[in-house]
């Protein structure tokens, strides 16, 4: 949505048109696409395997928090920000936790 608000008025169909704000919007979107779909697949598998609501809600809320931190921390003028570091590391930890539970369910089954 954010990149659309930049693209339409500028008439940029593909690419970033040399605009840093559009490049940043594209990168934010790409990061979401790189991380969220596989996490949602793991969440679906966890639910289908009978995981309880506490685990599912806990992982989901943790990932939501990490995504919010990512948007806050992803600034064009600062490569390293505290919220971005929290988001990157946190996304990895939450994903590994979900994967670990799935592996334990598979081994224990």
Quote the pLDDT of residue 82: 87
DSSP secondary-structure letter at 79?
S
| Whole-number pLDDT of residue 55 | 97
Give the residue with greater pLDDT, 85 vs 101. 101
Average pLDDT for the chain: 85
Look up the pTM and report it. 0.79
Find the mean pLDDT for residues 2-27.
71
Q: Is the pLDDT of residue 56 over 80?
A: yes
Q: Which residue has the higher pLDDT, 100 or 26?
A: 100
Contacts of 46 (CB under 8 A, 6+ apart): 55, 56, 59, 98, 101, 102, 105
């Amino acid at each position: 949505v954010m990149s659309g608000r930049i693209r339409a008025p500028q008439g940029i169909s593909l690419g970033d048109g040399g605009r840093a704000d559009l490049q940043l919007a594209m990168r934010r979107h790409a990061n979401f696409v790189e991380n969220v779909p596989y996490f949602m697949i793991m969440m679906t598998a966890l639910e289908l395997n009978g995981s309880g609501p506490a685990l599912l809600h806990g992982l989901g809320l943790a990932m939501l928090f990490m995504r919010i931190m990512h948007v806050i921390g992803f600034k064009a003028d600062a490569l390293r920000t505290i919220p971005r570091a929290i988001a990157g590391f946190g996304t990895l930890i939450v994903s590994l936790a979900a994967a670990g539970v799935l592996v334990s369910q598979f081994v224990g089954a």
